[in-house]
Amino acid sequence: MRYWFPFPFLSLGLLTFWVLISQSTSPGTLLLGGILSVALAWAMVNLSPHKTVPGRVRPVFRLVGAVAVDIVRSNIAVLKVMLGRRGKPATAGFLQIELTLTDENAIAVLACILTATPGTAWLEFDRTSRRLTLHILDTADGMDWQHIIKTRYERPLAEIFQ
Amino acid sequence: MSELLIIWCMLLAQLMLGVAMACTLYRIIFGPRAQDRVLALDALYVSAMLMLLTFGIRTANTIYFEAALVIAVLGFVSTIAFAKFMMRGEVIE
Amino acid sequence: MTVLDLPLWAALPVCILLLLGAGNALAGAIGLLRLKSFYARLHAPSLMTSGATILICLASMITFAVLQNRWIFHELAIIAFMMITTPVTLMMLGQAALYRDRAEGSKEVPHKEAGLREEAAVEE
């Protein structure tokens, strides 16, 4: 089973994408999509990515909920900054955080979350010193970003992946 | 009533997207540095994709969707290529 | 069959979503124009790719679902694609900008402590 389907989630995602784009669920589409998705998963084996299996499911939902709320909230906050007077927040600045996450995929997910929320931009992560450099658009809105990132994102990610 | 609403909303939405594209175009031309230009090019790709989706709604034709998807893919690949080029290919100014 | 055939109950949400989405994109573009530093401008396109794309794709989904009387989900492909790719592009651009600013010896960006050897190697 493991041999035939090395990356089941990747295959499933590819098949879904194929069906979405071709807009039909006829047997031919499903057959071709199934063959392609399995074959492309084999091609992925040669890249040998670092594999992790998510441990628990419950923190995933909590994390997704928190991220969705944060995206909407920070969208509104950034809208205010961009359309506000002068257009330049006085306190845009860099922030450096030491991460305790060790799993590479967890760090990749954290990068996606931080970049998807407008207001924080991921700039750089140094593997040796485990130091993450961020840019924060508006640090003056009374939020302790370091605390937010540590408790809202990093802890659930550590629960999921480790 | 409904027709009038749709016509005006379409017009307004396309106008806003057009102005957005003009803004990004300004950054592409006058952006002080190369990274500003690449960032603005990425934004231009996205707003062109949104414009195509709006055209698709207006004409009720799904062919625009394919074009929008192609533009999204092209924008992603070209931005990545530019960013990589800025990191490796260029001599330090 | 054009968009003008939409009944009023469908036209209202489509118009609202469309206007909100286009407004979001316009706000992102204005931010791109007005913000002063590159790193601040880096936040502007994510407004377009998250907010505007989702809203306009929803409007498109409603339109085609009502007009053609069947559910069409292929806009979800665009939403998923934008969600996956935007972090990658912005991250790469941020890294490239940081690299270039450091190579120029700019005072405004934070310095790299552990990787000093790398930069020295590049300058030689």
pLDDT, tens digit (0-9, with 9 covering 90-100), for B18-45? 999 999 999 899 878 888 899 999 999 9
Residue C114 has pLDDT above 60, yes or no: no
Query: In chain C, which residues have their Cβ closer than 8 Å to the Cβ of A73?
Result: none
Distance from the B67 Cα atom to the nearest Cα atom in chain C, whole angstroms: 11
Burial label, B40 (beta-carbon count in 10 A; 0-12, 13-18, 19+): buried
Q: Which chains touch B (3 or more CB pairs under 8 A)?
A: C
**Contact with chain C for residue A76, Cβ under 8 A:** no
Query: What confidence score (pLDDT) does residue A7 get?
Result: 77
What pLDDT does residue B89 have? 62
Q: Give residue B46's pLDDT.
A: 92
Higher pLDDT, A113 or A88: A113
CA distance C52 to chain B (A): 8
How sure is the predictor about B76, in pLDDT bands with cuts at 50, 70 and 90?
very high
pLDDT in tens, A150-161: 888 888 888 787
Q: Which residues of C touch B27 (CB under 8 A)?
A: 32-33, 41
**Nearest to C65, CA basis, from C17, C112, C32, C28:** C17
DSSP states of A73-141 as a string? Answer: HHHHHHHHHHHSSSS--TT-EEEEEE-----HHHHHHHHHHHHHSTTEEEEEEETTTTEEEEEES-TTS
ipTM value of the model? Answer: 0.85
- pLDDT(C116) > 60: no
Q: Could you tell me if C14 and C62 are in contact, meaning their C-beta atoms sit under 8 angstroms apart? A: yes
Domain coordinates in residue numbering, chain B:
2-88
B4 CB near a chain C CB, below 8 Å? no
> How many CB atoms sit inside 10 A of residue C48's CB?
30
Mean pLDDT of C67-94: 84
Q: Tell me how far apart the alpha carbons of residues A102 and A104 are, in angstroms, rounded to a whole number.
A: 6
Q: Band the pLDDT of C118: cuts 50, 70, 90.
A: very low
**A51 compared with A119, residue with greater pLDDT:** A119
Q: Please identify among residues 33-62 of chain C the ones whose CB lies closer than 8 Å to any CB of chain B.
A: 33, 38, 41-42, 44-45, 48-49, 52-53, 56-57, 59-60
pLDDT reported for residue B90: 55
Instruction: Determine which of A73, A135, A138, A153 to mutate to test the interface with C (most C C-beta atoms within 10 Å).
Output: A135
Q: How far apart are CA A51 and CA C108, in angstroms?
A: 38
Residue range A2-14: average pLDDT? 78
Percent of chain A with pLDDT over 70: 85
pLDDT at C1: 65
pTM summary value? 0.84
Query: Between residues C105 and B41, which one has the greater pLDDT?
Result: B41
pLDDT at C63: 86
Which residues from chain C sit within 8 angstroms of residue B12, using beta carbons?
19, 22
- pLDDT value of residue B17: 93
**Which residues of C fall within a CB distance of 8 Å from A121?**
39, 42-43, 46, 90, 94
pLDDT on residue A142: 58
pLDDT confidence of residue A159: 79
Mutation for C interface: A16, A19, A95, A123, most C CBs within 10 A: A123
Chain A residues within an 8 Å CB radius of C28 = 82
C50, closest residue in chain B (CA to CA): B46
Please name the residue of chain C whose CA is at the shortest distance from the CA of residue A91: C40
CA distance, residue B57 to nearest chain C CA (Å): 6
pLDDT recorded at residue B42: 92
For residues C42 and B57, the answer to whether their CB atoms sit within 8 Å is no
Nearest beta carbon to residue C53 from set B3, B26, B50? B50
| Residue among A67, A79, A82 with most chain C CBs within 10 A, to mutate | A82
User: Quick one: pLDDT at residue C119?
Assistant: 43
Hey, what are A139's tokens?
């640090």
Q: What is the pLDDT of residue A89?
A: 53
Give the rounded distance of the alpha carbon of C5 from its chain centre.
Answer: 31
The residue segments making up the domain with residue C114 are 3-123
Question: Does position C61 have pLDDT exceeding 60, yes or no?
Answer: yes
Confidence bin at A78 (pLDDT 50/70/90): confident
Instruction: Tell me if residue C34 falls in helix, strand or coil.
Output: helix
The reported pLDDT for the residue numbered C112 is: 64
Number of cross-chain residue pairs from A and C with Cβ atoms under 8 Å apart? 107
| Domain regions of chain A by residue span | 8-47, 58-161
Q: Assess B59–C contact: CB distance below 8 Å, yes or no.
A: yes
Better-predicted residue by pLDDT, B60 or A53:
B60
pLDDT digits (tens, 9 = 90+) for B41-75: 999 999 999 999 999 888 888 888 889 999 999 99
In this prediction, residues A51-67 reach a mean pLDDT of: 78
Q: Can you give the pLDDT at residue A94?
A: 81
* C124, pLDDT greater than 60: no
Number of folded domains in chain C?
1
CB contact under 8 A, C47 and A75: yes
> Taking CA atoms, what residue in C is nearest to B2?
C8
